[in-house]
Structure 1
Amino acid sequence: MLLRKTSLLLALMLAAAPLWAQIGQRFPSEKRVVADPVTGTPLTFLTTQPRGDSKIYPSHPQWTADGQWLVFRSNRVKGEAIAVNEASGDMVQVTEGGYDGMLNLSQTGGNKLYFLRKAASRAPKVMEAVEVDLDRVFADSQAGTMKPAGRYQRVFATLPAELEAVGDNALDADGQWFYFRIQGKAYAGAHLPAGTKIEPPFGPRGMGAGPHAIGKINVQTGEVRHVVSVPFQIGHIQANLWKPAELVFSWETGGKSPQRTWTVRGDGSGLRPLYPEAPYEWVTHEAIVGPDEVAMALMGHRPIAGVADPSRPAGTSVEGANPGQEDGWGATGTREKPTGLAIVNLRTRQMEIVGQTPSGSGLWHVHASPDGRFAVGDDFARNLYLIDRRTHEMLLLSAGHKATARDHVHPTFSRDGRRIQIQSALLSSDGREMNIVVVPVPPAWLAREP
């Protein structure tokens, strides 16, 4: 009897597995338009259930190349990515077998998705680079004719354990090369010039030590090449989506870096600081926003020593909402010096601050429209601000997203510069779970002279 029950249970489990794990699985629309409770802006919630949703990091594309689908992370199928159609709200599972770190959507040559994942063999530290043909997934899912995952997912390279490749990665503008972070210190160090000083940990979080490196994979042939090694810990890597073979990456310390932003060519040449920062500046959350421009935040989130700040009442801090407040960062990130949303030109190297909140944390995660008209940023309170770059006018576009939310708003402009994607806990009953939201640029702003 026990054997029969065990066999029956196993059969049921095997029969149920494809229902929750298979690429192409569909979920009903949850789409709902909600008026912002503070500003009245119509917010299009593409997800509304507490299912562990979070958007792709704001430095990377959120929409597919045709502009119709947004891809996001979710626990609807734990460890897998979901796409939602902006018009219909229909959702489709677009990976099978998991992913590690960043999700990369091609912007040319059809709807495709690229990422790293642990090798199917599960060998320690061996990673696979995967391409997903989203157009085929969407078509077969709609028709109810899904095939095995291998018909949609192509492993185009297997990265050896010695590289210790991790999920900070980026797809080049022309879709030919896939860049990735290498944290294998022996490998990275072997490609540094002799005598290079290796940076130790920096700051109270014990992060930032090197060496690390960037590698790249040819998407068609699977060829792996070394790009550059540096003597510090690399964080986010992003590619210029308008000009191939141009990268921006960060020195990651978990907070203030000695020199946060860097740029390099895809062949390893031209390595230099993107914005040479002063010791008192707290630079963070850089994002390439156009052919020649990078947005970044110069933070004004830390109190000035010995000066009372009425915008920071005692006892109002929410755990997890205010990073960078711990001791050990020195006198950095205060408003004794200029702070705000900065735009750096990759060609002229000039920097302009286009806006800043009058109080509070200041702008934290930032982005801008590719046409150069608008910029956008969030703050610790999860407010969303829109900036007219020509006039420097600032508008509180959306609020009420709950400072208790699991993460920040993380705004990203659409490629046409008319919409902004965020993540929000506005509808969350526990104040933490987040959903995927599209916020329109107000028609009156779009009608302004460029």
Structure 2
Amino acid sequence: MRLPLFTAVAAVALAATAAHASDVGRRFPPEKTSIVDRTTGVPLTVLTSGRYKDGKNYPTHPQWAHDGIHIIFPSGDRDKDGTPEAFAVNEITGDIVQLTDGPGVGTGSLNVARRSNKLYYMRRNGEAGRTQLIEVDLTPLLADSAAGKMRGQGYERIVATLPEDHIEAGGFTLDADEKTAYVGFDARRAPPRQPGQPVPQVPGGLRAIDLATGAVRTVIETPFRMGHVQANPFVPGEILYCNETGGDAPQRMWIVKADGTGNRPVFKEGPTDWVTHEQFADADHVIFNLMGHKRDLRKAATGILVVSLRDDTVEHLGQIPIKDFKRTELANFTDPNIPQDDTSTGGYWHNGVTYDGRWAAGDDFDGNVWLIDRKNNKRTLLTTGHRMRPNHTHPSFSPDGTRILIQSGMLSGGKNLGLMVVPVAPVAD
């Protein structure tokens, strides 16, 4: 049937509108500015102002895109519809570009590829929908956005559709060779976590996804809640994960091979050890925090440690001194498992590391970020006053080890987080 001319023109216009209705490629004016830390004198580069509910990727995952220029980050309310989406900020110009659009984007676990300029994320299509692994080609997306000539489609590829019963837990990760993704799952729906209570435990496990074919298989099943899934960035087929309790687990860190063999604990814990915030330090080591935030824990060694995956030997990177906290200070914390009483002593909370073995970093309960020289264990205060609300600073080094990315509630008074870059150079020199 042949349409009348005006109907055909209207149909073409409607199709064009629909094709370009997505906010992918939408640009935001730079929010980049510079401030100076009033305590240390270190210059800080502010990339996002704290106006929006921005954040950084979790420290277990890369922050910088393969192009070395863009930092990929999630935001809860930059999208016009108010849905959580992924964005990129140009570290040089400050320009911000929206990378995803629509409901169901899993911004809690964005995977920035190390070997290609791509981004991977999970999208769930409604409560009854299936979870899909999506690949985003950043190079043409960012180029077209800069040129103001976005295509209606072609930037994303559906890699795989997960089983109908898939319940993601612990996030997902890319293997070192970027041929496989690994994702944590719950075997059944867990009850909601109650305020001040541990994360409810249900059986879980790991699944592997072939990035070329989309084939999905089970790697391992566990009797506990899966958390912090991360693949070794240097050794293909080696996955670190944890027993996620939201607090102190009897044995937190575990490692397994991609075929399900070799499953074993990492750093076998004693009765007073409170292990948390593990991540790979290089091909053969894991850095983590042995919490010292309560006086009873300080009766033994606590602080940032590095454990060998090959012979279990441990390197101790130190701890900061005990502090007596006031209740007004404790009210700034965000973790319900941290006791707000006179047993609180502070200490390191999270950590970062460079893969060359030179630097480590740690944040503390005051919102300070410390640099640690692993050659001599010298500790230097880098930057201060980053309110640990509405989340922690989570320091992460740039790939070349010259800068640290943090998220800070400083500029918003703890209402929202802004992204800031802290140079290592003033201390390293």
Deviates more, 1:357-366 or 1:177-186: 177-186
Task: State the 1:79 CA deviation.
Answer: 1.1
Q: Which residue of 1 aligns with 2:144?
A: 140
Contact 1:208 1:252 (C-alpha < 8 Å) held by counterparts: no
Return the match for 1:76 from 57, 75, 78.
Answer: 78
Q: Which residue of 2 aligns with 1:406?
A: 390
Question: Structure 2 CA distance, aligned partners of 1:431 and 1:178?
Answer: 35
With structure 2 as the length reference, what TM-score do the two structures score? 0.85
Task: State the 1:31 CA deviation.
Answer: 0.8
Question: Structure 1 CA distance, aligned partners of 2:166 and 2:427?
Answer: 51
Task: State the 1:229 CA deviation.
Answer: 0.7
1:114 equivalent in alignment to 2:115: no
Return the match for 1:437 from 413, 417, 420.
Answer: 420
For the structure 1 residues 166 and 253, does the alpha-carbon distance in structure 2 shift closer, same or farther, using more than 3 Å as the test?
A: closer
For the structure 1 residues 16 and 424, does the alpha-carbon distance in structure 2 shift closer, same or farther, using more than 3 Å as the test?
A: farther
Task: State the 1:357 CA deviation.
Answer: 0.6
Task: State the 1:208 CA deviation.
Answer: 5.1
Question: Structure 1 CA distance, aligned partners of 2:382 and 2:198?
Answer: 37
One-letter code aligned to 1:395: T
Q: Which residue of 2 aligns with 1:416?
A: 400
Q: Which residue of 1 aligns with 2:31?
A: 30
Contact 2:169 2:225 (C-alpha < 8 Å) held by counterparts: no
One-letter code aligned to 2:256: V
Please give the per-residue CA displacement for 1:262-297, whole angstroms capped at 9, x wherever unaligned: 111122111111111111111000011222221100
Q: Which residue of 1 aligns with 2:365?
A: 380
Task: State the 1:53 CA deviation.
Answer: 0.8
Please give the per-residue CA displacement for 1:417-449, whole angstroms capped at 9, x wherever unaligned: 111110012211x4331101111113451x5xx
Question: Structure 1 CA distance, aligned partners of 2:275 and 2:321?
Answer: 18
Please give the per-residue CA displacement for 1:301-324, whole angstroms capped at 9, x wherever unaligned: 0133xxxxxxxxxxxxxxxxxxxx
Task: State the 1:18 CA deviation.
Answer: 6.1
1:217 equivalent in alignment to 2:209: yes
Return the match for 2:231 from 232, 235, 239.
Answer: 239
Question: Structure 1 CA distance, aligned partners of 2:196 and 2:249?
Answer: 11
The percentage of aligned residue pairs carrying the same residue is: 43
Task: State the 1:206 CA deviation.
Answer: 4.3
How many correspondences in the alignment? 384
Question: Structure 2 CA distance, aligned partners of 1:374 and 1:294?
Answer: 14
Within a 5 Å distance, the mapping from 1:324-339 to structure 2 comes to 334-339=297-302
With structure 1 as the length reference, what TM-score do the two structures score? 0.81
Q: Which residue of 2 aligns with 1:227?
A: 219
Q: Which residue of 1 aligns with 2:341?
A: none
The runs of 5 or more residues in structure 2 that have no matched partner are 1-15, 324-345
Task: State the 1:58 CA deviation.
Answer: 0.8
1:180 equivalent in alignment to 2:179: no
Question: Structure 1 CA distance, aligned partners of 2:292 and 2:370?
Answer: 16
Moved over 4 A (4+): 14-19
The runs of 5 or more residues in structure 1 that have no matched partner are 1-13, 187-200, 305-333
Question: Structure 2 CA distance, aligned partners of 1:33 and 1:204?
Answer: 38
Task: State the 1:16 CA deviation.
Answer: 11
Within a 5 Å distance, the mapping from 1:247-286 to structure 2 comes to 247-286=239-278
For the structure 1 residues 27 and 167, does the alpha-carbon distance in structure 2 shift closer, same or farther, using more than 3 Å as the test?
A: farther
Question: Structure 2 CA distance, aligned partners of 1:258 and 1:431?
Answer: 33
RMSD: 2.3
Return the match for 2:378 from 388, 393, 406.
Answer: 393
Question: Structure 2 CA distance, aligned partners of 1:16 and 1:408?
Answer: 40
Question: Structure 2 CA distance, aligned partners of 1:32 and 1:387?
Answer: 27
